[in-house]
Structure 1
């Protein structure tokens, strides 16, 4: 430790120059942003957020979020009332319908829905539509699960 202190004392100290002043006696002037726009000027938050998203490659995720956020406006109020988007993965949008009849209807309207979504958020965001019907309750969960048919054996 003593050797490090000696080495630090032996180094010549640089004279600290106030920021923005001329260095070494030259007549260099401070650089002000001036009356024009500059990167150092305060920026609107939206512009900064979009720049960060573009730099980090988040654009696809943000556009995918628009599908979930504007679902009712993209597909219409009636369809949005009976179906909801579940997952967007590699251009495939998974939609959960509330009944098998609505799942069939969504499969028939698939091309029209894809065209409406493409018009609203862009062509390459959603390329395929996967429609799921309602999911049945699972009897396999719970602290006292017993192997076998369980409570369904009394249904018929």
Structure 2
């Protein structure tokens, strides 16, 4: 009878261990030695730490585990945000959000009396329904800017230009007299 604690010799008579684990370990060590001889960097595997010059600055080996990983499924909104950022669409998306969600951003009371007309060079043009509302909104500029920054991001809108209703135009039709118009009744 043979002793079970001793590893049996290989059938080819080399005297090396024949268990699968030992054969795999020996093959791995031979491959690492060949790679070192060729001057290539050799990893140590998952169980042993990387030490010394093999670790490169700024690059860290990440193993997937129980925490979130870049390979995990991502929410559609986050992916759309990354695509918009990469392609430079963020300003237009922010502008669409501002105009589309105006009532939710500034509140129902302000939205019923004023509306945004254009956004150019980070200046939001707002038209109020009356001069009284235009004056009131000018007093509330800092509050409105803070609400806009919270909704669409800081820096999207840096200042507001608030105007009242448009004055009536006396120009009717394609033919008109140049100048300021009749002044005998309007002083």
Q: Which category of TM-score, normalised to the shorter sequence, fits these structures?
A: 0.5 to 0.7
1:93 shift after superposition: 0.8
After TM superposition, the score normalised by the length of structure 2 is: 0.53
CA distance in 1, matches of 2:183, 2:82: 56
- Using the alignment, how far apart are the partners of 1:153 and 1:56 within structure 2? 59
Please state if 1:115 is matched with 2:151.
Answer: no
Q: Where does residue 21 of structure 1 map in the other structure? A: none
Task: State whether structure 2 residue 104 is matched by structure 1 residue 85.
Answer: no
- Structure 1 residue 149: Cα displacement: 4.7
Provide runs of 4+ in structure 1 moved above 3 Å.
44-56, 148-156
Query: Hey, what does 2:107 align to over in structure 1?
Result: 76
Write the distance in 2 (CA, Å) between the matches of 1:56 and 1:96: 32
Residue 128 of structure 2 corresponds to which residue in structure 1?
Answer: 97
Query: What whole-Å deviation, never above 9, does each CA across 1:91-118 have from its counterpart, x for those lacking one?
Result: 2111001111000000001111111111
Q: TM-score, normalised by structure 1?
A: 0.62
Q: 1:60 aligns with which of 91, 102, 105?
A: 91
Shift of 1:139: 2.0
* C-alpha RMSD of the superposition: 2.8
CA distance in 1, matches of 2:151, 2:77: 20
Correspondence for 2:173 among 131, 134, 142: 142
Where do residues 14-25 of structure 1 align in structure 2 (5 Å cutoff)? Answer: none
* Higher Cα radius of gyration: 2
How many residue pairs get matched? 116
SS at match of 1:129: strand
Partner residue, 2:28? none
Where structure 2 has 5 or more consecutive residues not aligned to the other structure, the ranges are 1-70
